């Protein structure tokens, strides 16, 4: 690294020596420049590998690039053709709908409600039970995604554990991955991701003073009343943060769906990440896939901005 050059110039830095604009601007600017040199590797890495793809995603979505054939080498600018083709293609609106269903059912409702429920129940359960629940829920989350996807695939398979259990009690289960692909991947994603919400809410609930809920109990508030009128308002900051984060994480779920159903049957479980992959790599429509990627980036960016504004983290 080229950092030694910095050694002789680094003056005694102090925390609050903010160079005032107007007074000695040249020295202040130079010092600022020297001090920001360590940021350089990060800036270079982020510019090439994060900003680069974002920019090329926007640009590529306006070209007819493909993986093979004549347009692979020299692609042409085609304007909004990819986007108009995208909205004309019945698969795209369907995929948007599937993504929304997946987001709402598995992240916003499933993971958050189950995570909060588990965190609440764990407060009134005994230690051993708490440890058992924590271990299994967190293991599903810590496992590498491909392994979790296989375990979920085996569980929901026609000859898998779920149907074996159903037949043990005399029921004949459907072929989940074909008959109910969305339900299967939604349940699998709840299984996979609830640990995160559980950990966030457990931490948040620890900060709720017990005096308040206890005094409400003395005043005759029932359990659900205490939950809705006292506990939930007190942890609303964690709830909004967690809703945003789980939404963003679920928006980029690919492996779970890809391994379990491959987006199928047909495109019945192709959420946007899976559809972008299929269009670009299976059908060779790079521009098409890039347009989907661009739309997802915009959606993700909108969510991130909303999240950052809501959280107003202490950036200083």
Partner 1 sequence: MGMTSPSGRAMKTASNGVLLLVALAFALPLIWLLLASVDTRASLSIKLPDTFSLQNYIDVLTPETAFVPLLNSTFLAGGCAVITVIVAVLAAYPLSRYRMRVNKPFLYGVLFGSCLPITAMMVPVYALFVAFNLIDSLVGTMLFLAATSLPIAIYMTKNFMDSVPVSLEEAAWMDGASMLTTLTRIVIPLMRPGLAVVFIFVFIGAWGNFFVPFVLLLSPDKLPAAVSIFSFFGQYGTVAYGQLAAFSLLYSLPVITLYVFVSRVLGGSSAMAGAIKG
Minimum distance of partner 1 from residue 37's CB (angstroms): 8
Residue 296 makes contact with partner 1 by CB under 8 A = yes
Of 251, 252, 245, 236, the C-alpha closest to 306 is 245
Residue 214 makes contact with partner 1 by CB under 8 A = yes
Binding mask 53-72 toward partner 1 (x if CB under 8 A, else -) reads: xx-xx--x----x-------
**Which stretch in 12-20, 82-90, 105-113, 225-233 sits in contact with partner 1 by CB under 8 A?**
12-20
Residue 310 makes contact with partner 1 by CB under 8 A = no
Whether 117 contacts 232, CB under 8 Å: no
Residue 210 makes contact with partner 1 by CB under 8 A = yes
Distance separating alpha carbons of residues 85 and 285, to the nearest angstrom: 11
Distance separating alpha carbons of residues 103 and 97, to the nearest angstrom: 10
Binding mask 120-159 toward partner 1 (x if CB under 8 A, else -) reads: -xxxxxx--xx-xxx-xxxxx-xxxxxxx-xxx-xx-x-x
Applying CB under 8 A, among 50, 109, 113, 179 the residue interacting with partner 1 is 50
Taking CB under 8 A as the criterion, which residues in 87-106 touch partner 1? none
**Which stretch in 78-86, 87-95, 197-205, 226-234 sits in contact with partner 1 by CB under 8 A?**
197-205
How many residues bind partner 1 (CB under 8 A)? The answer is 115
Residue 166 makes contact with partner 1 by CB under 8 A = no
Q: How far is CA 177 from CA 136, 183, 276, 279, in A?
A: 24, 9, 21, 22
Closer residue to partner 1 in complex, CB, 65/86: 65
Minimum distance of partner 1 from residue 306's CB (angstroms): 10
Residue 39 makes contact with partner 1 by CB under 8 A = yes
Of 159, 202, 158, the C-alpha closest to 178 is 158
Residue 236 makes contact with partner 1 by CB under 8 A = no
Residue 303 makes contact with partner 1 by CB under 8 A = yes
Residue 222 makes contact with partner 1 by CB under 8 A = no
Residue 41 makes contact with partner 1 by CB under 8 A = yes
Residue 313 makes contact with partner 1 by CB under 8 A = yes
Q: How far is CA 314 from CA 39, 203, 240, 311, in A?
A: 20, 19, 17, 9
Q: How is the chain split among helix, strand and coil, in percent rounded to 5? A: 70, 0, 25
Residue 282 makes contact with partner 1 by CB under 8 A = no
All residues at 6 or more sequence positions from 141 whose CB lies less than 8 Å from its CB, including other chains: 192, 193, 194, 195, 196
Alpha helix (H) ranges present in 209-254?
A: 210-218, 223-226, 232-234, 236-251
């Amino acid at each position: 690294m080229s950092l030694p050059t910095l050694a002789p110039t680094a003056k005694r830095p102090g925390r609050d020596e903010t160079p005032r604009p107007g007074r000695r601007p040249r020295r202040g600017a130079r010092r600022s420049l020297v001090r920001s040199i360590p940021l350089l590797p990060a800036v270079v890495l982020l510019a090439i590998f994060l900003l680069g793809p974002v920019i090329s995603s926007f640009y590529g979505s306006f070209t007819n690039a493909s993986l093979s054939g004549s347009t692979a080498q020299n692609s042409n600018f085609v304007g909004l053709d990819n986007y108009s083709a995208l909205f004309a293609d019945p698969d795209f609106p369907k995929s948007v709908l599937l993504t929304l269903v997946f987001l709402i059912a598995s992240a916003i409702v499933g993971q958050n409600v189950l995570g909060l429920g588990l965190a609440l129940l764990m407060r009134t359960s005994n230690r051993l039970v708490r440890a058992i629940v924590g271990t299994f829920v967190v293991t599903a989350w810590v496992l590498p995604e491909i392994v979790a996807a296989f375990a979920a695939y085996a569980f929901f398979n026609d000859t898998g554990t779920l149907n074996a259990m159903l037949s043990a009690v005399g029921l004949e289960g459907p072929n989940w991955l074909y008959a109910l692909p969305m339900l299967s991947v939604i349940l699998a994603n709840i299984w996979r991701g609830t640990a995160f919400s559980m950990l966030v809410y457990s931490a948040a609930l620890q900060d709720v003073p017990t005096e308040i809920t206890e005094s409400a109990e003395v005043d005759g508030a029932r359990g659900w009343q205490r939950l809705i009128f006292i506990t939930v308002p007190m942890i609303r900051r964690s709830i909004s943060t967690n809703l945003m984060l789980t939404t963003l994480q679920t928006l980029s779920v690919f492996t779970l769906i890809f391994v379990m159903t491959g987006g199928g049957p047909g495109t019945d479980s192709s959420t946007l990440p899976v559809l972008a992959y299929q269009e670009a790599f299976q059908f060779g429509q790079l521009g098409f896939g890039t347009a989907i990627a661009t739309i997802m980036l915009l959606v993700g960016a909108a969510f991130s901005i909303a999240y950052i504004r809501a959280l107003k983290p202490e950036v200083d």
